[in-house]
Amino acid sequence: MSALRPDLAIIADHVAAGSRVLDVGCGDGELMDVLRAKSCDARGIEIDPANVSLAVGRGLSVVQGDADTDLVNYPDNAFDYAILSQTLQTARAPDKVLGELMRIGRHAFVSFPNFAYWRVRLSLAWGGRMPVTPALPVSWYETQNIHQLTIDDFRAFVKERGLTVEQAWFLTGARRRGAAAANLRAEHAVFLLRR
């Protein structure tokens, strides 16, 4: 099996074995596959039908659905962890999606690209162009990322919501970064939240 994406590897390492997990935006199920090997009861939601077919074809419980509309159908506290990897910035209403995530799961993992990463700032401030970077590889006219945010935006947002950050990881590519100046130096971030 190919190596997991760096943010997924962190999540996979920190989900307790045997727990109940909902992976929102699970893609073809690569994280779920790893979690299943850790005896987790993993469920997934994915918007792209080709990805859903691949995931169900490998025996995973995945439903085709949309994070913006379909989370409301899950009961409170149905999962130990709800996971939203690289999906928050694509939601039509990220605040509502995060609210649903914290209702469904006792914990939530959220990973997203950091729009305040120095290369992004440089591209915008000096180049005057919307950034295209490894973490944001798609041009402005076709990107799914309609709600770009920064690490500091996210920190302020969870504080405002009264949520607790249990742990956070900052990365550039696959390399870990310290929390110091993460908003400038980290390309993407993973947060573990609880109510």
Partner 1 sequence: MTDDSRFGLARSVTLAGPLLLDGGARLAPVEIAYETYGTLDANRSNAVLICHALTGDQHVASTHPITGKPGWWTRMVGAGKPIDPARHFIVCANVLGSCLGSSGPASADPATNSPFAMRFPVITIRDMVRAQAMLLDHLGIERLSAAVGGSMGGMQVLQWAATYPDRVRSAVVIASAARHSAQNIAFHEVGRQAIMADPKWRGGNYYADGDPPAAGLAVARMAAHITYLSEAGLTEKFGRRLQAREGNKNGAKSFGFDADFQIESYLRHQGISFVDRFDANSYLYITRAMDYFDVAEEHGGLLANAFRGTATRFCLVSFDTDWLYPTAESRAIVHALNAAGAPVSFVELSSPFGHDAFLLDVPELNRVVDGFLRAGESA
The contact set with partner 1 (CB under 8 A) reads 41, 43, 49, 52-53, 55-65, 70, 73-75, 78
Q: How far is CA 185 from CA 32, 83, 120, 121, 177, in A?
A: 29, 24, 10, 11, 8
d(CA 52, CA 49): 5
Give least dist CB 42 to partner 1, A.
10
Min separation Cβ 92 and partner 1, Å: 18
Please name the residue that has the structure tokens 């992976």.
Answer: 23
CB of 43 to partner 1, least distance (A): 7
- Nearer of residues 70 and 80 to partner 1, judged by Cβ: 70
- Cα–Cα nearest to 78, from 45, 50, 37: 45
CB nearer to partner 1: give 52 or 120.
Answer: 52
Please say which residue, 43 or 188, places its beta carbon nearer to partner 1. 43
Residue 190 in tokens: 């993973």
Q: CB nearer to partner 1: give 13 or 48.
A: 48
Question: Rounded to the nearest 5°, which phi and psi values hold at 119?
Answer: -65, -35
Q: Which amino acid is at 105?
A: G
Least separation in angstroms between residue 139's CB and partner 1 is 27
